[in-house]
Structure formats: structure tokens, C-alpha cells
Chain A
Amino acid sequence: MAKLHIETTINGEPAEFLCDPHETLLSALRTGLGLTGTKEGCATGDCGACSILLEGRLVPACLVLAAEAQGRAMTTIEGLSRGDTLHPLQQKFLEHAALQCGICTPGFIVAAKALLDAKPNPTEEEVRYGLAGNLCRCTGYDKIIRAVLDAASEMKGTTA
């Protein structure tokens, strides 16, 4: 059962790992690479806790084979802050108390980043539909939506 050797780029840095051919990228991130910020909630692509950006595109890492990462670039939650500066989304989540237990938070922040990259000025409805693939059981989504809208304003240069 020979493992595959995969060379990839994660959060702007070259990375490599060994994986089984049938192993998911989520598993490779969390075990081989020690990047446990991406979470497993369901392993069927229904909860969004494993959201990452693969070649800039929002995907569920539980439904990507680790081998597919060969030669590709991805961004995980660990790549969002720069040095000790939080990404505006991270900062707004904290300010708006948009997390309680926090398990869904990395997935939401990555998904929200993808949303704002594509739509820098979303309406509330667009935010809700754009984040419909991320389940939260604690907050009822209210403060999450406010945090994302506020981050959008800030990132555009206008204050909310």
C-alpha cells in the first residue's frame, strides 16, 4: 500500500505530505500536516466546517482527495491572518460576538472570504445564501451575518 508523495502550496508556502490514494484532503491537512484549524463535522460536504480555498475556489476539503492537491495552491484558516494582524473578517467576528462554541467559525470565515472576494458589496440575502453551506447550531446566524456585512464595509474602505 504505497503512499503518494504530494507537493503542494498551502497558505503561500510550499508543503509536502504522504497520503493514501483514497485519503481526503481534510484528513491530510489535519493529520499529516497538523493543520487542525479545518474541522470535520460530517464528512459528506453538508456542514461547511471543512471549507478551504483550493485554487481560490471554496470547496469542502472532505470531498477532495488529498492527491488532487498535487501542484495546486490552497488557503486554509491558518493562512488568513498576516503575522499578528487578524483578517478583517476575523476581527469582525470577534467584535460582533459572531461565535459561541467556535467550531464552525474557521469554515465560516474561509467561506465569507470567498464570498467577499467574489462579491465585495453583498446584500444581506446574498450573504445568507452564500453562506448557506455553513451550518451553525449556536448563534442562529444573526451575528455572523452582521459581522460579514461589517467586514465587507470595512474592506471596501467605508466604515459601517
Chain B
Amino acid sequence: MDAIRYESPRSVAEAVRLMAADAGARVLAGGTDLLVQFRAGVRQPSAFVDVKRIPELMSIAIDDQGLRLGAAVPAAVIGEHAELRRLWPGLAESVRLIGSTQIQGRGSVGGNLCNGSPAADTTCALIVNRAQCVIAGPNGERTVPVDAFCIAPGRTVLQHGELLVAIRVPRPAARTSDAYLRLIPRTEMDIAVAGAGVSVTLDAAGVCTAARVAIGAVAPTALRVPGAEQALVGSPLDEASLRYAAEAASAAARPIDDRRGTAAYRRTVAGVLTRRAAALAAQRARQGTDRG
């Protein structure tokens, strides 16, 4: 049996070379999923490719275009970024929900996406914010919308030799804001039983002109809910439209029974969370994107 290797590339190119040369190599960011799976015997990498010494994967930059978030930036660092929190409060919220303070010191958005759990907290918030995944590979760089990135539980579109290097999020338009809520039985630590992310844009009269809704942990991947979006667009985001959006979310959910919750429960709660997240996003959008 060959020994497992530890690699610590200093550049994206070097990381790509390592991944391309060894089909069994796995990217190690925070390790909060990979090392747990390794210890459980579920994943047996031939090499850990530690990407945390590659500057492009560890940086956060915000400019006129929007956000470029390095894939391996720890959640705690994201949570401390005031400008990111101001512009994308729901996204920041979802990142802050990835586990305890200790897990926050390690876990990353890239890792959360690449692990491909249907319950990943960041996916919904990324979807509603129109995020794009920046992928580097042997054939160069490509970009994939985040809603197309995860294709099944534990599986992404990454090909052999590729790795996720960054997530791009466009700057929100005026009077736009987002929210992400999830249901867990305790107050911390649990994997989401259901989650909902909503982004809304309002016009000067307070009418919704654009909306994106995504629900998580209620299907093999996070789901956009066009029916909920249609319920919101053109409405003043009043109780009736929020209720329709909630019903659409419940109807779109395709949940399972598992040790964390029943399918019926998830279906109901997906609706409740959608309604509450939409209300919160609306309130934030009305207040303007200036949040302390």
C-alpha cells in the first residue's frame, strides 16, 4: 500500500499539475469534511493537496464588479470582513452558520461547495446572489454558475485535474439585499434540516423587480424555486405574496427522510423559511444596503 502524500503547492499552476498527475489526490482546504471522511474510511485520498499557501485561494477582494472570494478562505475571515457583510448580509450569514467557532477557523466556502452536501449552508445564498465558480484546470480557467456546480450529493462538475479557486459574486444593484435562514434543532452545530436563501431587488416604490429563491437540504442539490420568484416579482412583498412564495417552495422541495428530519417536515419548513427569509431580505432592501 502506497503511503499517503502531503503536498503544499504555492501556485494554482502547481496545484493543477499535482491534481492532474494523480487521480486519487484530493484538495485540502479546511479539512472539516475531508478529514472526517478520511478518518471514517469513506474517502481514501492518495495525496492531500493543501491549497492554503496559494494566495489566490486565500484572498478576498471587492471592487466595482463585485466580490472575488478565494475558495479556501476560512469562514471566520469572511465573517470579519465588514464590507462583505454589508453588501451581502445573507451570504455572510450563511457562512457564519457553517459550524462552531472552531470549524469557522477552518471551513471554507469552496470546501462547502465542493463537498457537495445537499444541506450545505452557503449554496443557497450563493445561488441567489448569482455567484460564479472560477475553476482552474489543465486546459486553463473556466467559470460555471454556482447553481450548475453541484450535480448530485457529493458530486460536482469538477473534472480530473481541476480545482475550484475562487467564487465571484456580482455587486448587488441598488435596493437589493439577501437573507439566508436554516432550521436546526439545537442553536448551533447541527447540519441544516432545511435552508432557504432569498435575494430581492425593489424599485423606488417598494415593489419587487427581481427575486431569486433557493432552498437547501430538501433535494439532492440546492434548488432554485422559479415559482417562488414569480410570486415575489411585481409584488410589494406583502403577506400574501410571501405566502405564495412559501407554498411554491414547499411544492418544489423533493426531500427525503433521514436521521435529521422527515420528508414531510422538510417540505413544510422549506416554505416557512422561504417566507421568513424573503421578509428579512425585503426589510434589508428597504433599509438600503448600509448595514452596520
Q: A residues within 8 Å of B by Cβ?
A: 1-2, 4, 20-22, 24, 43-46, 48, 51, 54, 57-60, 62-65, 67-68, 70, 111, 114-115, 129-134
Give the Cβ gap from A67 to chain B, nearest Cβ, in Å.
4
Flag if B76 contacts A57 (CB, 8 Å). yes
Docked Cα-Cα span, A64 to B103, in Å, equals 11
Complex-state Cα separation, A2 to B30, whole angstroms:
24
Chain B, residues 88-114, CB within 8 Å of chain A (1/0): the string is: 000000000001111111100000000
- Number of chain B interface residues as a range: 20 to 34
CB-based closest 7 A-B pairs: A133-B100, A132-B188, A21-B6, A59-B105, A67-B6, A22-B4, A60-B102
B50 touches A48 (CB 8 A): no
Verify B52–A45 contact, CB threshold 8 A: no
Whether B11 sits at the interface, judged by CB under 8 Å, is no
The 8 Å CB contact of B100, one of A22, A48, A57, is A48
Instruction: Check A21/B105 contact, CB under 8 A, given A57-B74, A65-B31, A70-B8.
Output: no
Q: Please, could you name 14 A-B residue pairs with CB atoms under 8 Å apart, sorted by A?
A: A4-B6, A44-B39, A45-B99, A45-B106, A46-B189, A48-B102, A60-B103, A60-B105, A63-B31, A63-B103, A65-B35, A133-B100, A133-B102, A133-B103
15 new A-B pairs (CB below 8 Å) besides A67-B6, A111-B101?
A1-B3, A4-B6, A22-B38, A44-B39, A45-B32, A45-B100, A45-B102, A65-B6, A65-B31, A65-B50, A68-B50, A111-B102, A114-B101, A132-B188, A133-B99
Cα separation A64 to B38 with both chains bound (whole Å): 12
Residue from B4, B31, B104 with most neighbouring chain A CB atoms (10 Å): B31
Q: Which residues of B contact A (CB under 8 A)?
A: 3-6, 8, 28, 30-32, 35-36, 38-39, 48, 50, 52, 74, 76, 99-106, 187-189
Given A43-B39, A133-B189, are A115 and B6 neighbors across the interface (CB < 8 Å)? Answer: no
Q: How far is the CA of A45 from the CA of B107 in the complex (A)?
A: 11
Contact of A67 among B50, B101, B189 (CB under 8 A): B50
Contact (Cβ within 8 A) A115 B101: yes
Q: Which of B36, B76, B99, B105 has the most CB of A within 10 A?
A: B105
> Contacts of B102 on A, CB cut-off 8 Å?
45, 48, 51, 58-60, 111, 133
Bound CA–CA A59/B30 (angstroms): 10
